[in-house]
Every structure is written in structure tokens, then in C-alpha cells.
């Protein structure tokens, strides 16, 4: 019987219900990570009066979870490559869900921000490793399609959040736990967005570790058991296949210590033969996060007002109470900053639903285009359209066209994040994939953090300048997309 690698073994077994189960688990895992990240868009508004937040405090709260994801992302990949994708995902889900529940009970802004940052420390693994877990149960020819379809969980999360908000927020109920602490509806909203995460946690406990990882640590017996699980779920008999796995050339577990191994493998990514491809992917994904997440996380806040008047986007933002400038008044002959009147009601939950549906439509479009074009041309096409629409935001005033242009400028790059990540998986060996994905995602989330800070702090100072900074990086991303390996 000929020996074969995992790709050939999976191809021999074929696609079936086993991969569907993995797909569903990864779907809810990614849906939870997006729901958790996007819920802060609503919390920023809903806590404005209770915590009397300034523009800087709003930005702190909006960035706290992203900050935690940046901090932990560098080491999550090492854990995944050393202890396994399943182990790390399960641990991360437990930590993220636990601290998310705790954060909903925090009594003030700074305690809430700190616990949200801790949630981000765990959520980094949830958001990054589900791609590796999903793809390592699929052969290379299935991966782009599987990743794109699973990414529809992002659009489902973006629709799920405003729908839950519509169900909870209008009731204006309060649960009194003590004389000094009331549970307002926004706290229950934070708990409700965790539901996909609990489903994902149950699912991840019921599926095996990936055969790629098991073989990478020279555990061929368990790799065979994982393949047998897939075969059994696919309603096929293992005995009908003559599968003998080839030994892996390099095990993930190396004799060096944890940090020595981490530094060694991380530096390998910046050397030949990986450096050029890795750097292009890194800067591209950085730009996608900078634009789609950095600005997208503020989408419900920016659209939370009357948008029916015919004004440019920046003129509308000047009228938005969340971005209103502080006024100065004289107190004993001294100018003192007076914060604008607080506004803590979500008056527009329809546009965020449109935002979610736009992701769904763009994912369907990218799936169709993948059947006709090379992956890098699909990526480049999306970014070119986003760039043109972004330029149009400088002049467009018609309300519907403005909503479409603004939404697609953020959405089109956002749908490319999983697809661009799959490029990394294809040209890197198994023992470097987890570290590479998490290293790239961590640096890219710093781009999201930078973009979010620009919106929170600079948008009210110079909206036109802020908007065109995002548009300029889209132009850079077009060039990077065309340089991707085929």
C-alpha cells in the first residue's frame, strides 16, 4: 500500500458529513468572535449617559477588546502549534465566554474596559485559529470555497447583533441587584451575544484534533483516528481505503524552550523562502483590518442618527451627537471644557442590518468569482471597487447612494480577510501555519486598533482627512493584492 500525506488521504475519503460538522463548529466559532467584537459598537452608545463618557473614553472602550487581541495574538499561534488547534480553541472559548459574562456586571467604564481587554486576550485565538482548524480538515482545492462559505458567519453575526438589540433595548427594563447597582438592558445585550460562543464550545468538544497537527507532532496513530472519524461521519468504511500516512519531516514539538522555539519559528517567516510572500500577505491583511474593522466597528455609532437628509458623509458626522465637539465656557474667568449632551439611545438599528446583509451578498459574490478567477484577482477586484466607492464619499449626498457607498467601502475589504488568510495556509508548512496566522492577525489587529483610534479621536477634528487616509491605504492594498502568489 502506498504511503500518502494528509491531503491525499482526505481526497481519497472525499467530502461528506464529517467536514460539514467541522464547518458548523467553525461557523459558530467565528460568528461568536465577530458578535463579541461588534457588540462594543452598541455599548459605546448605550453607556454614554450612565458612565458620562467623553470622546477619549468612548475610544478607550471601543479599543479595549482589540487591544487584548493584539497583545495575545503573538503567542496564540505558538500554543496552537505546540498543544493543538482544538485544545487552544477550547481553552480560548472558555476564557472569552467567562470574562465576557463578568464584563457585563462591571460597575464603571474602566472596570468594563479592563475586563473587555481580558476577553480580547482569549478572543484572539477564537478569531484566528478557526481558519486553521477548518482548513486542516479540507484539501487545498476545497479550502478557498470552505473558508469563504464559513465566513458568512460574519454576516450572520452582524445581523444577529442588531436583531438582539431590537429585541432587548426597547423594553427599557432595569433589574436592581443592590442599592448602587442596576442591570440595564445593555448588560443583557452583552450576555445575549455570547449564545453562538456557547454553541461553539459544545461543538469543539465533540470533534477531533486536526490530522495535520497530529501528524506534525509525529502522532500518526491519533491522526489515523481523526481520519477514521471523518470516514465514519461520511458514512464510509475505513477498510475500503488503503491509507498509510507518511511521516512528517519536522515535528512541531522541538527541544528548545517555549520562547526560544517561538522566536526561532517567527524569524523563519521573515527569511527565505517565505519572507516575500509572507510580508505581502501581512501588509495586505493589515490594510484590510485597518479599513474594514477600524472603521466598521464605528458603523452603528456613525449611522445612529437621522441620515435621511442630503448631506455628504462628513457633514452628517458633524451633526452626530456621538462625535459632537466639546464647548468651552468661562468659569471664574477660565475656559473650561463642557462635554456635549449625552445620547444613549440606539435610534437606528436598520442600517446595521443592511451592513450585515451587505457582507452576506459580498461573500456570495466572492464565492462566485472564485469559480471564474484566480484568488488574487478576486481580492484585487473587491478592493478596487471599495476604493472607487470611497472616493465617491467625498462628494455623494443622496442618502441611499451614500449608505451603499459607505457600507460597501467597509464591507468589500472585510470579506477578503479569511480569503487572504487562506493564502498563508497554502504556502506555509503545517508547523508554521498557526504561528503565522496568529502573528499576522495580531499585527493586522493593530491596524484595526489604529483605524478605530483614528475614527474615535480624529474624525470629529477633520473628517475629510480621516476618510481619505482610509481610502489611500485601499490604493496600497490593490497593489499588494496583485503581488500575491497564485
> Higher pLDDT residue, 143 or 102?
102
Question: Position of cell 491522526?
Answer: 223
Rounded CA-CA distance 387/470 in Å is: 9
> Higher pLDDT residue, 354 or 438?
354
Q: What are phi and psi of 244, to 5 degrees?
A: -130, 120
Rounded CA-CA distance 304/300 in Å is: 6
pLDDT score at 261: 61
Rounded CA-CA distance 439/446 in Å is: 11
Cα torsion 173, 178, 181, 186: sign: negative
Q: Mean pLDDT lowest for which of 96-105, 278-287, 341-350, 457-466?
A: 341-350
Rounded CA-CA distance 209/225 in Å is: 10
- pTM summary value: 0.82
Q: How confident is the model at residue 256 (pLDDT cuts 50, 70, 90)?
A: low
pLDDT score at 253: 46
Rounded CA-CA distance 217/209 in Å is: 12
Q: How confident is the model at residue 259 (pLDDT cuts 50, 70, 90)?
A: low
pLDDT 10s digits, 165-202: 999 988 777 777 776 777 888 999 999 999 999 999 99
Residues sharing a CB contact under 8 Å with residue 327, sequence separation 6 or more, in sequence order: 337, 338, 340
Rounded CA-CA distance 341/52 in Å is: 9
Residues sharing a CB contact under 8 Å with residue 400, sequence separation 6 or more, in sequence order: none
Rounded CA-CA distance 484/396 in Å is: 33
pLDDT 10s digits, 96-138: 999 999 999 998 899 999 999 999 999 988 988 888 888 888 8
Protein fold of 3-327+345-482:
Growth Hormone; Chain: A; (1.20.1250)
Average pLDDT, the chain: 84
pLDDT score at 191: 94
The HSE-up count of residue 70 (CA atoms within 13 Å, CB side) is 15
pLDDT score at 117: 94
Tell me the CA distances in angstroms from 294 to 54, 146, 252, 483, one per residue in order.
19, 26, 34, 24
pLDDT 10s digits, 422-459: 787 777 776 676 677 777 877 888 898 899 999 888 88
- Say yes or no to pLDDT of 159 above 60: yes
Amino acid at each position: 500500500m502506498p504511503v500518502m500525506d494528509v491531503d491525499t488521504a482526505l481526497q481519497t475519503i472525499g467530502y461528506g458529513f464529517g467536514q460539514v460538522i467541522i464547518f458548523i463548529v467553525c461557523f459558530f466559532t467565528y460568528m461568536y468572535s465577530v458578535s463579541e467584537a461588534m457588540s462594543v459598537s452598541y455599548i459605546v452608545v448605550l453607556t454614554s449617559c450612565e458612565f458620562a463618557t467623553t470622546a477619549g473614553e468612548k475610544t478607550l472602550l471601543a479599543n479595549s477588546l482589540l487591544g487584548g487581541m493584539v497583545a495575545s495574538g503573538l503567542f496564540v499561534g505558538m500554543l496552537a502549534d505546540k498543544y493543538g488547534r482544538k485544545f487552544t480553541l477550547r481553552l480560548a472559548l472558555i476564557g472569552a465566554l467567562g470574562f465576557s459574562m463578568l464584563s457585563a456586571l462591571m460597575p464603571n467604564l474602566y472596570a468594563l474596559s479592563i475586563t473587555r481587554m481580558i476577553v480580547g486576550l482569549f478572543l484572539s485565538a477564537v478569531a484566528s485559529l478557526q481558519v486553521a482548524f477548518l482548513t486542516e480538515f479540507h484539501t487545498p482545492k476545497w479550502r478557498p470555497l470552505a473558508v469563504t462559505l464559513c465566513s458568512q458567519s460574519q454576516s450572520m453575526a452582524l445581523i444577529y447583533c442588531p436583531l438582539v438589540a431590537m429585541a432587548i433595548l426597547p423594553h427599557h427594563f432595569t433589574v436592581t441587584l443592590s442599592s448602587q447597582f442596576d442591570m440595564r438592558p445593555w448588560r443583557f445585550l452583552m450576555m445575549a451575544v455570547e449564545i453562538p460562543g456557547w454553541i461553539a464550545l459544545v461543538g469543539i468538544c465533540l470533534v477531533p484534533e486536526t490530522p495535520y497537527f497530529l501528524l506534525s507532532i509525529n502522532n500518526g496513530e491519533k491522526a489515523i483516528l481523526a481520519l477514521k472519524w471523518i470516514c465514519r461521519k461520511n458514512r464510509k468504511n475505513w477498510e475500503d481505503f488503503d491509507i498509510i500516512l507518511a511521516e512528517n519531516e519536522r515535528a512541531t514539538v522541538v527541544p528548545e524552550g517555549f520562547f526560544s522555539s517561538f522566536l526561532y519559528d517567527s524569524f523563519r517567516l521573515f527569511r527565505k523562502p517565505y519572507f516575500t510572500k509572507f510580508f505581502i500577505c501581512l501588509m495586505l491583511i493589515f490594510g484590510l483590518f485597518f479599513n474594514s474593522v477600524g472603521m466598521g466597528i464605528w458603523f452603528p455609532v456613525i449611522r445612529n442618527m437621522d441620515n435621511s437628509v442630503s448631506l455628504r458623509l462628513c457633514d452628517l458626522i458633524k451633526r452626530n451627537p456621538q462625535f459632537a465637539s466639546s464647548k468651552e465656557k468661562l468659569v471664574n474667568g477660565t475656559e473650561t471644557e463642557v462635554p456635549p449632551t449625552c445620547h444613549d439611545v440606539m435610534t437606528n438599528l436598520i442600517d446595521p442590518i443592511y451592513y450585515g446583509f451587505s457582507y452576506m451578498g459580498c461573500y456570495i459574490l466572492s464565492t462566485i468569482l472564485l469559480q471564474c478567477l484566480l484568488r488574487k484577482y478576486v481580492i484585487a477586484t473587491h478592493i478596487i471597487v471599495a476604493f472607487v466607492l470611497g472616493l465617491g464619499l467625498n462628494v455623494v449626498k443622496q442618502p441611499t447612494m451614500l449608505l451603499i457607498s459607505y457600507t460597501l467601502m467597509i464591507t468589500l475589504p472585510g470579506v477578503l480577510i479569511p480569503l487572504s488568510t487562506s493564502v498563508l495556509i497554502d504556502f506555509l508548512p503545517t508547523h508554521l501555519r498557526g504561528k503565522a496566522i496568529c502573528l499576522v492577525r495580531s499585527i493586522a489587529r493593530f491596524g484595526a486598533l489604529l483605524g478605530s483610534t483614528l475614527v474615535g479621536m480624529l474624525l470629529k477634528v477633520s473628517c475629510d482627512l480621516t476618510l481619505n487616509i482610509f481610502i489611500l491605504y485601499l490604493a496600497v492594498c490593490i497593489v499588494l493584492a496583485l503581488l500575491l502568489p497564485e
